[in-house]
Amino acid sequence: MGYAVPPIEHPNTTDLPPDHEDDESEDLELVAEANGPIVLALSEADCGMRLDKVLSQHLPQFSRSRLQQWIEEGHVTVDGKTARAKSTMFGDEQLLVQPQAAADAHAYEPEAMALEIVHEDQAIMVINKPAGLVVHPGAGNWSGTLQNGLLHYYPPIADVPRAGIVHRLDKDTSGLMVVAKTMQAQTDLVRQLQARTVHRVYLALVWGTPQVGGKVDAAIGRHPRERIKMSVQNNLTAKPAVTHFRRLATGLLEGKPVSLLQCELETGRTHQIRVHMQSLGFALVGDALYGKPHLVPVFGRQALHACRLGLVHPVIRKDCEWQAPLPADMAELLARAGIALEPELQ
């Protein structure tokens, strides 16, 4: 749906500080300012205390967990020797601390990257995210994320929490995402998501043949044993999750039946479609986390694409909708399965 928007102007401001949300943000600045190792001469007041506690008292600018990590990694020595965090001090030792930049030191650094921008105006951007791109920095992915790319493409977005990202897609899920360029737009989009009025439609290829259509209304929470996974649960900590699905076509892959589904989200829980479909017995093709291990090599990622996104524009208050065609890898997968897409889905 088209509508008129004012021309885009990109300010040249490149020094806006990112909005740090973690408790360690001050540590990064202090580490960056440190010109070398820190030497501490202990006194009688330190006698009887653990090494990590002594350090936290002498170096309150660093979190205790950060100091414990440095001790474990050998960046703290006591009279020239490494020690354990719980080692007792006698009060006459000399400590040498080598401050280390946090693993997340690059989380808020701008990085140039190609972004497929489907729509942009003064308030929002709609991006077609490729598979393989991580949205938020996190453990193991502190750089090269969509957030880093947004900070480079539009530096003023550093003033918006999480660089304007209001919802996310899994690393190996492709498709449409909306990003807020202002605090006002972000607040409005978050409210729309909370009110479940944002229209998000996905295409998913699953193993098996589900019924023609249905609704999965099952709460999702962190898996009790495998912490990297989510699961359908019935307890107070699980969050409500609702997915509507419709079977569009069926085919064969590796001699086994597969089905192309259109899935629409009411809620946006972590791994929601993957968990809900797996709970019905129809895991996504290529899903290494929730799928069938012996069938994962058939496709290099979960066969999931966010093909349609609809919302009320946070400024002009008009209904807007965007579509993204299937990426080449998923289109090829459907062709292998003998599934022909309707023109509007291609």
| 10 within a domain of the structure (yes/no) | no
Do 200 and 304 belong to one domain?
yes
Confirm whether 170 is a catalytic residue.
yes
> Closest by alpha carbon to 83, among 94, 98, 71?
71
Residue 285 has a pLDDT of 97
> Closest by alpha carbon to 77, among 59, 58, 63, 98?
98
What is the rounded distance in angstroms from the CA atom of residue 255 to the CA atom of residue 271? 27
**Pairing mode, strands 174-180 and 220-222:** unpaired
pTM beyond cutoff 0.75: no
What is the rounded distance in angstroms from the CA atom of residue 257 to the CA atom of residue 247? 13
Do 154 and 245 belong to one domain?
no
Active-site position among 52, 104, 170, 287 = 170
Do 188 and 125 belong to one domain?
yes
Q: Which residues contact 186 (CB under 8 A, 6 or more apart)?
A: 160, 161, 164, 166, 180
**Among 144, 174, 195, where does a domain finish?**
195
Residue 28 has a pLDDT of 32
Do 223 and 338 belong to one domain?
yes
Amino acid at 271: H
Structure tokens at 93: 């030792």
Asked whether the beta carbons of 106 and 142 are under 8 A apart, the reply is yes
Q: What is the CATH number of the domain that holds 282?
A: 3.30.2350.10
> Closest by alpha carbon to 154, among 334, 28, 8, 19?
8
Do 211 and 148 belong to one domain?
no
Residue 58 has a pLDDT of 94
Q: What is the CATH number of the domain that holds 92?
A: 3.10.290.10
Residue 29 has a pLDDT of 31
Do 227 and 293 belong to one domain?
yes
Do 284 and 165 belong to one domain?
no
What is the rounded distance in angstroms from the CA atom of residue 164 to the CA atom of residue 106? 18
**Among 131, 164, 195, where does a domain finish?**
195
What is the rounded distance in angstroms from the CA atom of residue 264 to the CA atom of residue 202? 6
| 32 within a domain of the structure (yes/no) | no
- Residue range(s) defining the domain that contains residue 55: 37-97
The one-digit pLDDT tens for each residue of the chain (346 residues) are: 433 444 344 333 333 233 322 322 233 333 333 447 999 999 999 999 999 999 999 998 888 888 999 999 999 999 999 999 999 999 999 999 998 876 666 678 899 999 999 999 999 999 999 999 999 887 777 789 999 999 999 999 999 988 999 999 999 999 999 999 999 999 999 999 999 999 999 999 999 999 999 999 999 999 999 989 999 999 999 999 999 999 999 999 999 999 999 999 999 999 999 999 999 999 999 999 999 888 778 899 999 999 999 999 999 999 999 999 999 999 999 999 999 977 666 5
- Residue 318's region, left for phi above 0, alpha for psi from -120 to 50, else beta, is beta
Do 121 and 181 belong to one domain?
yes
**Among 164, 179, 195, where does a domain finish?**
195
| 53 within a domain of the structure (yes/no) | yes
Residue 103 has a pLDDT of 63
| 1 within a domain of the structure (yes/no) | no
Do 293 and 235 belong to one domain?
yes
Residue 12 has a pLDDT of 35
Asked whether the beta carbons of 5 and 121 are under 8 A apart, the reply is yes
**From residue 206, how far is each of 45, 181, 243, 287, 293 by CA, in Å?**
65, 35, 15, 9, 14
Structural domains of the chain, count? 3
Residue 344 has a pLDDT of 61
What is the rounded distance in angstroms from the CA atom of residue 150 to the CA atom of residue 144? 11
| 188 within a domain of the structure (yes/no) | yes
Q: Which residues contact 94 (CB under 8 A, 6 or more apart)?
A: 39, 40, 41, 42, 78, 79
Q: Which residues contact 292 (CB under 8 A, 6 or more apart)?
A: 207, 283
Do 178 and 227 belong to one domain?
no
What is the rounded distance in angstroms from the CA atom of residue 266 to the CA atom of residue 87? 53
| 256 within a domain of the structure (yes/no) | yes
| 44 within a domain of the structure (yes/no) | yes
Do 65 and 181 belong to one domain?
no
Do 93 and 110 belong to one domain?
no
Residues in the chain: 346
**From residue 267, how far is each of 107, 167, 287 by CA, in Å?**
27, 11, 21
Asked whether the beta carbons of 305 and 327 are under 8 A apart, the reply is yes
Strand partners, 179: 125, 165
Helices 51-58 and 64-72, axial angle in degrees (round to 10): 130
